[in-house]
Amino acid sequence: MKIVVDAMGGDHAPGVVVDGAIAAVRDLGVEVLLTGPGEIVQRELAARGGEKLIEVRHASEIVGMDEPPAAAVRRKRDSSIRVGLDLVASGAADAFVSAGNTGAVMATATLVLKRTAGVERPGILTLFPTITGQPAILIDAGANVDCKAVHLAHFGVMGSVYAQAILGRESPSVGVLSNGEEEGKGNELTREADQLLRGTSLRYVGYVEGRDLFNGKVDVVVCDGFVGNVALKASEGVADAIRTLLERGFRANLRGKLAYLLSKPVLRDMKKAFDHHEYGGAPLLGVQGVCIIAHGSANAHAIRNAIRQAASQRREDVSIRIERALGEARILPELTKRPGADRVVFLKELAKKMRIPRRAPATPEGGPTARAAFVFPGQGCEFVGMGSELANRYPIVRDTLREASEAAGVDLATMAAQGPIERLRLAEHAQPAVVAVSVGVARLVQTELGVRPAIVLGHSVGEYAALVASGALGFSEAIRLVRERGRLMHEASPPGRGSMAAITGLSLAQVTKICHEAAQGAVLDVADEQGHEHFVVSGEARAVDRAVEAANGAGARRAVLLPVTGPFHSSLMAPASERFAPTLAAVAIREPEVTFVSSITGTRLASAEDIRAALEVQFSGPVRWFAAARHLAESAPELVVQAGPGSFLTGTLRRIEPRLRTFVVDDLDGVRQLREAAHRLLTPR
């Protein structure tokens, strides 16, 4: 996991930031990338012996702590904040940490990472110590001074998700901060928020008072950013005042000094509980990614803890959980019929608020309801249980797996559901099973959700599923072809002879040079170009092992073996390609009915002859996924649906083009998310 840290953020940057980053690398086992003026940051690292531990990404501009956020976002496009958040948005890093200008970090994160679907205003979450020993959550702590009731309701959902995912609270309680617990208390904002939260499935307890921040009565306290920031600063002031008064009393006389010695352990624990450095930073929730805003006065210990917090939030996929929870909560502002309002006008207002059209949108028969792209995964994404949840719920998926089993002459449905994984991973089983599940999902998406593809793309063997979806190839024929394809690949290179590895963080020239030097007379090829500094190499096992070792020595961010059973897309597969040609020639291939992009050529293929030629060289030719993905992105689809197991393809697509709206459909939750997204696209606003 790679955490990018703004080296120039905070009152004591860059020194304490570098110290904290080095401590995180050594203590937490994470990768850290620092952004800032390269020469300055490298000098700080060298002074601490950390130049080999941490990568630096140059950023020529720095945002001052008192600089207006809007001006910083608009004028400083190469700031250490912007460069760091761009790395997260592109997929080159997993999370961002900064102790810099809070407003600039929040504004830039909202601009670059984009808001989570369903969130109108991101919120800053902070932790308060309580007498129970377990912290309470306050949200919003200063991101939004002026809020609507729906924003507070969203904060309640986001805080509840965080409490579950990070604090381990099974059913966190949620309350609205007010000037009293009675229903008549509060102002118009809190009363409206109270009504909205009562309509959710959250464990909502009603109004809470300021003292409840510290007594552990409630897990999540919701308020607008103005009130939240005042509460936060007031509590910090009270803690400082108590500390000052105690110190003064302890120094007053001998009795005070003796009292201090006796109470020193208790006071130390108390100080630690109220020390914001222990919590690290405040997460900005409601953006599509992880962003931690540390205190401007953060020391090295606080930076280390902020990095730890960022890693935990990314590991638990908090932003994805928030999106799901908001979709389930379906928080809608309350509507009241105004005196004398016409009933039809009122119903139109209600429909607009709920984003429900007065009638279903008309679409051409058989045509797409939204401009969608379907992408299909290849071998390596298979796992025991893939497709089972959908097959149990939807007959169309179940029937597709049954049809595939009959065509393949082996019970693919049972193997996909029950394994064992050692048998499922064999190419002759994995390839038809992945294609079968993928086609079943694609059929489900089209028939149940009404989402049809305007463009299709498959990764390696996933091209066969893409061809089925495009109408260029029959399903049974595709299953028989990939079954034979897998069998021939297995015979060409039995398990153990060859392997594959993923290498990230090096250029194509560096990876090509590593392959040339590590081969030592054996076969070793660049098998897949997945994006900038993301490659896969394939060949004889010992040569691949040497390449992994060499890549790590050359400073690769990641170089690991892949869980596959053969050296696919290398010249070791050439004999299998020759034996497969007669089988492929006997199968009818038609011109695709929708745009088909080949991951082997990286271009659109429109004729049956071109498609057949690409499938013939697919065995030993490299995958040009980056070129194919760029071609897909240029078609500007409104939705990108990965039909089939895993989430590898959507991850690469977001890295290549962050603006794509990607959805993985391999379980019931994926179906629900896509249905809601398609509905939002088709609903007049």
- The sign of the dihedral angle between the CA atoms of 649, 650, 655, 659 is positive
Residue 261 Cα to chain centre, angstroms: 50
Give the C-alpha separation, 319 to 546, whole Å. 38
**Across the chain, which distance is largest between two alpha carbons, in Å?**
100
From the number of C-beta atoms within 10 Å of its C-beta (0-12, 13-18, 19+), residue 207 rates as buried
List CB contacts of 240: < 8 A, sequence separation 6 or more: none
The answer to whether 293 touches 108, Cβ cutoff 8 Å, is no
Structure tokens at 395: 């007959």
Active-site choice (178, 319, 438, 460): 460
Active-site choice (79, 569, 570, 577): 569
Structure tokens at 617: 């060289």
Give the C-alpha separation, 526 to 523, whole Å. 10
The answer to whether 601 touches 624, Cβ cutoff 8 Å, is yes
Which helix (DSSP H) or strand (DSSP E) does residue 184 occupy?
none
CB atoms closer than 10 angstroms to residue 210:
16
Give the C-alpha separation, 17 to 1, whole Å. 19
Order of all β-strands in the sheet with 524-531 = 524-531, 534-540, 498-504, 558-561
Q: Report the amino acid identity of residue 591.
A: E
Which helix (DSSP H) or strand (DSSP E) does residue 15 occupy?
helix 15-28
List CB contacts of 602: < 8 A, sequence separation 6 or more: 624, 625, 626, 627, 628, 631
Q: Strand 524-531 relative to strand 453-458: parallel, antiparallel, unpaired?
A: unpaired
Q: Report the amino acid identity of residue 453.
A: P
Catalytic residue flag (residue 460): yes
From the number of C-beta atoms within 10 Å of its C-beta (0-12, 13-18, 19+), residue 203 rates as middle
**Residues forming beta bridges with residue 285, ordered by sequence position:** 123
DSSP result, 302-344: HHHHHHHHHHHHHHTTHHHHHHHHHHHH-------PPTT--HH
CB atoms closer than 10 angstroms to residue 513:
14
Judged by DSSP in three states, 14 sits in coil
From the number of C-beta atoms within 10 Å of its C-beta (0-12, 13-18, 19+), residue 627 rates as middle
> CA nearest 377: which of 618, 666, 91, 626?
666
The answer to whether 663 touches 642, Cβ cutoff 8 Å, is yes
Structure tokens at 368: 């797409």
The answer to whether 428 touches 409, Cβ cutoff 8 Å, is no
Give, rounded to a whole angstrom, the gap between the first and last alpha carbons of the chain.
40
Give the C-alpha separation, 180 to 197, whole Å. 17
**Residues forming beta bridges with residue 95, ordered by sequence position:** 3
Structure tokens at 178: 């007010």
The answer to whether 207 touches 180, Cβ cutoff 8 Å, is yes
The answer to whether 376 touches 643, Cβ cutoff 8 Å, is yes
> CA nearest 516: which of 487, 484, 495, 539?
539
Provide the annotated active-site residues: 460, 569
